[in-house]
Structure 1
Amino acid sequence: MRGSADGVASDRSAMSNGGVAVDKGVDFANYFCTYAFLYHQKEMLSDRVRMDAYYNAVFGNKHHFTGKTVLDVGTGSGILAIWAGQAGARKVYAVEATKMSEHARELVKANNLEDVIEVIEGSIEDVTLPEKVDVIISEWMGYFLLRESMFDSVICARDRWLKPTGVMYPSHARMWLAPIRTGLGDQKMRDYEGSMDDWFGFMDETKTYYGVDMSVLTKPFSEEQKKYYLQTSLWNNLHPNQVVGTAAVIKEIDCLTVTVIDILNVRASISSSITTEETRLCGFAGWFDVHFRGSKENPAQHEIELTTAPSEDHGTHWGQQVFLLHPPIEISEGDDMIVNFSMNRTKENHRLMEVELSCEIRKPSGKLLPPFKNKYSIE
């Protein structure tokens, strides 16, 4: 989930997901059309952490915008384009794939910026601009940063339209992982067990009343329910005291130089130390932050950070992605962990992700706990 969308409304296929053909018509129906609704835009425009970061980044660094040309990739409601115009941009190209472009055009007009901002409905992969731009601004981040794969479109825009001296907003991004405690795992296990109890009741009734034995389907039903309840990551806004060990960066991104190949697979081996006395390791949480630093040649005057880390009072609509363990593991302060993490795009839908996570825990005595490995989906 994020604040705007850029895509394509044609039926042609595109190459994405590491060279796998993607049907653009299906992609539009499954993904882009979601952002054509004002209620969805309102949800993200109400995220004060998100809004404040972009607002402060633009107006705290007017030197990047005054008299400059700007491209807003996936303009959505048009608010980033409007801020760029208000900050003094000479010209802003606001590209939007969905009919939200019509609302953006009206909003631009209502804010007296129609002479500066040109709203273009279409895919950034397909549109042609009359000039190169000095700044590319976009709010492309999905759950755990890379879900939705919209960053592909931003990279495409950068490679096609950004001047060699241009800057990216945001300019950098990082992905984090940390061990956590939470009651979500217990709840999800109860949900799974309840679904199986319901299945057995259904199976008995079908045999009694209709003479059909459904037991052969018990295993695939169980696997289906396990994936839904136990192997799908969860969205949650965690409190900082739910983080029970040190957090580690699993991916760093320079938006000015990164390629699509660089983000197809995220792999990391990290270490973490438990910092909480006698608790349960219930899973891991992933979050991200992005930074507005400009570039080495043209740095920001005021660097801004937007973080989705666990917070006491400033959660975001992104929250954190929670990867649960079943059952939890008893841990204590001083335990050391080696965590191997990998994340890939699913074969069925390049906008969704598959995660594999394994861990070894060593006690201060040197004793190793049995290692574990789990798979999850980010849907």
Structure 2
Amino acid sequence: MEGSSNGNHHHHTDGGATTQMNHFRPTKPGGGGGGRSRVSRIQTPPCTEFDKAYFQSYSHVGIHEEMIKDRVRTETYRSAILQHRSHIEGKVVVDVGCGTGILSIFCAQAGAKRVYAVDASAIALQASEVVKANNLSDKVIVLHGRVEDVQIDEEVDVIISEWMGYMLLYESMLGSVIVARDRWLKPGGLILPSNAVLYMAPVTHPDRYAESIDFWRNVYGIDMSPILPLAKQCAFEEPCVETISGESVLTWPHVVKHVDCYTITYQELQSVTASFKFQSMMRAPLHGFAFWFDVEFSGPANNEEASSLTEPPKTNPSGSHRRKRAHPDEALVLSTAPEDPPTHWQQTMVYFYDPIDVEQDQIIDGSVTLTQSKENARFMNIHLEYASGGRSFVKECVLR
């Protein structure tokens, strides 16, 4: 989403975690419009002070620089645009939350007839200059405003957006893509990406725990263990955005939510609940749960090809956490899984205050509920209930 992050967030007081400021991915600023009959059916949320702060955060060039320098992200989008060139050439495209305009320019280079680049952040002013500098003003129209508010007086063939936040749904930018889809997308039109899947898995991470917590047991020969409760709270009260290794993951991942961008509703995003049951593949201390996501760039909704992400396998005997492309002509997948090349999204970790020792084959079960915060819809409340070895626990936190 170009522009994704609001500096203010990054709750990353995550002791030691390299986390990014940029993840406050805003609803990508942008998008909305035209006076067509179906518009009246669409409930568009008002622009709040939180929204304004979010858009403001995206006016900082550093956020866009971080996203553009994420080669996995940017090159996968460019590859997807080229792979779907036949749906883009000579067609009308909306880029929801265009940021610096890079995806809009990729679409223009792929032969789009017209691209509406929508962003509510002041970065739209720079995007206009970038478009001019590349002699594309006749093709790329930059609209500075929310998707919910701008005017586009024609139907569009393609919606492209980099809307994903930490844990996929943080920052609630997918809502703007839904608004753009319901306002302007022609039947049979293309949405890139088309599908997304949020995964979770139990993780062991002793190094992280040692550097944030065990450190206090002996500081220059002094017992500072009275600080341990505060250290645990400061390090692990909120979710941490950091990179973990595939070796830290104790089980096959579980699908928390599958998103079909052609059919998902705004209401579905307000609360997501999933039950899980994991079986540990090794004996290790369990330090928390990791969350990550994949997005897939497949063809239009009326395309007969089923998404490879639509029915993710419950178990995966192939030794990979997700399905890979079996053939080069299959849908491109952008993955933020621990075993894949790192991205600026990294993984989101919800740590326990105290680890749980699990044996090989021990069951870890429970449920997770993700809800939009009443305080600020761009924040996400996480409610975890989990049990293992006859003990039950609850962990609540906010990704803010």
Q: 1:262 to 1:193 in 2, by over 3 A?
A: farther
Matched, 1:305 2:326: no
- How many residues are aligned here? 337
Deviations 1:86-139 (CA, angstroms, capped at 9, x unpaired):
111111100111221121112112222111111111111011102010000000
Q: How much does 1:177 deviate?
A: 0.3
Question: How far apart, CA to CA, are the structure 2 residues paired with 1:359 and 1:279?
Answer: 17
- SS in structure 2 opposite 1:125? coil
Deviations 1:216-257 (CA, angstroms, capped at 9, x unpaired):
xxxxxx88x865433201011111001111211110010011
Aligned match for 1:184, one of 194, 197, 208: 208
Q: How much does 1:303 deviate?
A: 1.0
Question: How far apart, CA to CA, are the structure 2 residues paired with 1:345 and 1:186?
Answer: 32
Q: TM-score, normalised by structure 1?
A: 0.82
Matched, 1:169 2:192: yes
Which residue matches 1:106? 129
Which residue matches 1:14? none
Deviations 1:281-317 (CA, angstroms, capped at 9, x unpaired):
11110011111112342478651101111036x2111
Question: How far apart, CA to CA, are the structure 1 residues paired with 2:138 and 2:285?
Answer: 59
Q: TM-score, normalised by structure 2?
A: 0.78
Question: How far apart, CA to CA, are the structure 2 residues paired with 1:309 and 1:346?
Answer: 26
Which residue matches 1:229? 235
Matched, 1:63 2:91: no
Question: How far apart, CA to CA, are the structure 2 residues paired with 1:55 and 1:191?
Answer: 45
Which residue matches 1:316? 343
Matched, 1:256 2:257: no
Question: How far apart, CA to CA, are the structure 2 residues paired with 1:295 and 1:8?
Answer: 22
Which residue matches 1:142? 165
Deviations 1:126-176 (CA, angstroms, capped at 9, x unpaired):
111020100000001111011111111111111101111211111001100
Query: Are the aligned partners of 1:191 and 1:229 in contact in 2 as well (CA < 8 Å)?
Result: no
Q: Which runs of 5+ in 1 are unaligned?
A: 10-18, 202-221, 362-367
Larger radius of gyration: 1
Which residue matches 1:357? 384
More helix, by proportion: 1
Query: Are the aligned partners of 1:192 and 1:230 in contact in 2 as well (CA < 8 Å)?
Result: no
Q: How much does 1:8 deviate?
A: 7.3
More strand, by proportion: 1
Question: How far apart, CA to CA, are the structure 1 residues paired with 2:210 and 2:374?
Answer: 30
Matched, 1:115 2:134: no
- SS in structure 1 opposite 2:391? coil
What is the root-mean-square deviation of aligned Cα atoms in Å? 2.7
Which residue matches 1:336? 363
- SS in structure 2 opposite 1:77? coil
Give the AA of the match of 1:274: S
Question: How far apart, CA to CA, are the structure 2 residues paired with 1:340 and 1:129?
Answer: 42
Which residue matches 1:15? none
Aligned match for 2:393, one of 351, 359, 372: 372
Give the AA of the match of 1:7: P
Give the % identical residues.
37
Which residue matches 2:18? none
Q: 1:257 to 1:8 in 2, by over 3 A?
A: closer
Q: 1:339 to 1:149 in 2, by over 3 A?
A: same
Query: Are the aligned partners of 2:93 and 2:159 in contact in 1 as well (CA < 8 Å)?
Result: yes
Question: How far apart, CA to CA, are the structure 1 residues paired with 2:81 and 2:57?
Answer: 27
Deviations 1:19-69 (CA, angstroms, capped at 9, x unpaired):
99765244212x111111112110110001101210110011111101110
